[in-house]
């Protein structure tokens, strides 16, 4: 089973996770920029984070045979913080970079006027840069949040077929599907979707334009949830072709809209700016030690 996790925050995960993901079939990920839990106090903090998503993290992923791309944006949680909003002026010079395959994650958290502005401005940035957009939908009052999100998308220059609305569930899937957007589902251990509910939605609505992600991050989450959905699909009589469509071809098609998806991992380097993922010389002594972070 080949798996593309279209929404996962690897910055918060360990090398053990990369190893387990590769063993489960994960060969590609997209890491959306997001909130770090600790509020940022200046645009400079975003820029170091963006650089890490463009440099260190793809390097780390490549050591484990996984292709890494990212989406960049001012996230919904910090879109109302005046200390953070000026990062919008810095985004254009980052959105031209090769590994950026969408603007995201953008969207609503508390549905404030400041979030309205950040969402509209960043949908325009996506249109200006010929990029698709990854749009997070709020975790509270989901139907109202989705409706307002789709209104802003309709008023934007970005057509729905270049928009992925994420964190959907049973209460929002129908309206999202009718909008013509791509449909994202985050499968978590306790909250939001689980594997059984995900498979039931796939049975009712079909696999077209559906993307399943783990959205694993620093909170309670599981980077192998994509695989668990694939296994349950097979157990419940979906075909291998259906699984491949949902877990591989759909994310490739959506992020491929950027024209920048490169899934070729030929011979990754062993260091990034002089640093490796190793901590000293391995026990078998076969690899030369490299400079440490
Ligand atoms: Zn996320």
- Tell me: the pLDDT tens digits for 68-106? 999 999 999 999 999 999 999 999 999 999 999 999 999
**Residue 292 pLDDT level (bands cut at 50, 70, 90):** very low
Task: Compare 278 and 129 and report the one with higher pLDDT.
Answer: 129
The CATH superfamily assigned to 3-256 is Metal-dependent hydrolases (3.20.20.140)
Q: Over the stretch 242-257, which tens digit does the pLDDT of each residue have? A: 999 999 999 999 999 9
Centre of ligand 1 to C-alpha 251, Å, is 15
**Residue 285 pLDDT level (bands cut at 50, 70, 90):** low
pLDDT of residue 289: 39
Centre of ligand 1 to C-alpha 231, Å, is 23
Centre of ligand 1 to C-alpha 232, Å, is 23
Centre of ligand 1 to C-alpha 265, Å, is 24
Centre of ligand 1 to C-alpha 289, Å, is 35
Q: In whole numbers, what is the pLDDT of the chain averaged over residues?
A: 93
Question: What does the DSSP assignment read for 183-216?
Answer: EEEEB-SSSSB-HHHHHHHHHHH-STTEEEE---
Residue percentage of the chain with pLDDT more than 70:
95
Centre of ligand 1 to C-alpha 188, Å, is 12
Strands 26-32 and 100-107: unpaired
Q: What would the two tokens of residue 43 be?
A: 């645009």
Q: Is the pLDDT of residue 288 over 60?
A: no
Q: Is the pLDDT of residue 286 over 90?
A: no
Centre of ligand 1 to C-alpha 284, Å, is 38
pLDDT of residue 270: 80
Centre of ligand 1 to C-alpha 105, Å, is 7
Centre of ligand 1 to C-alpha 32, Å, is 6
Centre of ligand 1 to C-alpha 282, Å, is 34
Give the separation between CA 45 and CA 16, rounded to whole angstroms. 27
Q: Over the stretch 4-39, which tens digit does the pLDDT of each residue have? A: 999 999 999 999 999 999 999 999 999 999 999 999
Q: Over the stretch 114-159, which tens digit does the pLDDT of each residue have? A: 999 999 999 999 999 999 999 999 988 899 999 999 999 999 999 9
Q: Which residues surround ligand 1, an ion (CB under 5 A)?
A: 34, 215
Give the separation between CA 161 and CA 17, rounded to whole angstroms. 32
Centre of ligand 1 to C-alpha 10, Å, is 10
Give the separation between CA 50 and CA 269, rounded to whole angstroms. 21
Centre of ligand 1 to C-alpha 13, Å, is 13
Residue percentage of the chain with pLDDT more than 90:
87
Domain ranges of the chain: 3-256
Q: Is the pLDDT of residue 44 over 50?
A: yes
Give the separation between CA 203 and CA 201, rounded to whole angstroms. 5
Would you give the DSSP letter of residue 161?
A: G
Q: Is the pLDDT of residue 179 over 70?
A: yes
pLDDT of residue 269: 78
Q: How far is CA 171 from the centre of its chain?
A: 22
Centre of ligand 1 to C-alpha 186, Å, is 9
């Amino acid at each position: 089973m080949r798996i593309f996790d279209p929404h996962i925050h690897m910055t918060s995960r360990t090398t053990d996770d990369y190893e387990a993901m590769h063993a489960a079939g994960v060969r590609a990920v997209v890491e959306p920029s997001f909130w770090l839990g600790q509020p940022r106090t200046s645009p400079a903090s975003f820029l170091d984070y963006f650089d890490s998503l463009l440099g260190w993290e793809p390097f780390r992923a490549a050591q484990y045979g996984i292709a890494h791309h990212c989406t960049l944006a001012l996230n919904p949680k910090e879109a109302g913080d005046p200390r953070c909003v000026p990062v919008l002026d810095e985004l254009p010079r980052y959105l031209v970079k090769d590994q950026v395959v969408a603007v995201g994650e953008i969207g609503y958290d508390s549905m404030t006027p400041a979030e309205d502005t950040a969402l509209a401005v960043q949908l325009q940035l996506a249109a200006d840069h010929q990029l698709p957009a990854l749009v997070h939908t709020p975790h509270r009052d989901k139907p109202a949040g989705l409706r307002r999100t789709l209104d802003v998308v309709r008023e934007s220059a970005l057509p729905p077929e270049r928009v992925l609305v994420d964190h959907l569930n049973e209460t929002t899937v129908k309206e999202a599907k009718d909008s013509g957007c791509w449909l994202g589902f985050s499968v978590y251990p306790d909250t939001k979707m689980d594997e059984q509910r995900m498979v039931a939605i796939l049975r009712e609505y079909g696999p077209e334009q559906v993307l399943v992600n783990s959205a694993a991050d620093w909170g309670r989450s599981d980077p192998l949830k994509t695989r668990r959905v694939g296994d349950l699909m097979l157990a419940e009589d979906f075909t291998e072709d259906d699984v491949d469509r949902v877990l591989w071809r759909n994310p490739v098609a959506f992020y491929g809209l950027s024209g920048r998806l490169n899934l070729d991992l030929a011979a990754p380097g062993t260091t990034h700016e002089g640093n490796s993922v190793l901590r000293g010389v391995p026990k078998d002594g076969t690899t030369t030690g490299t400079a440490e972070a």
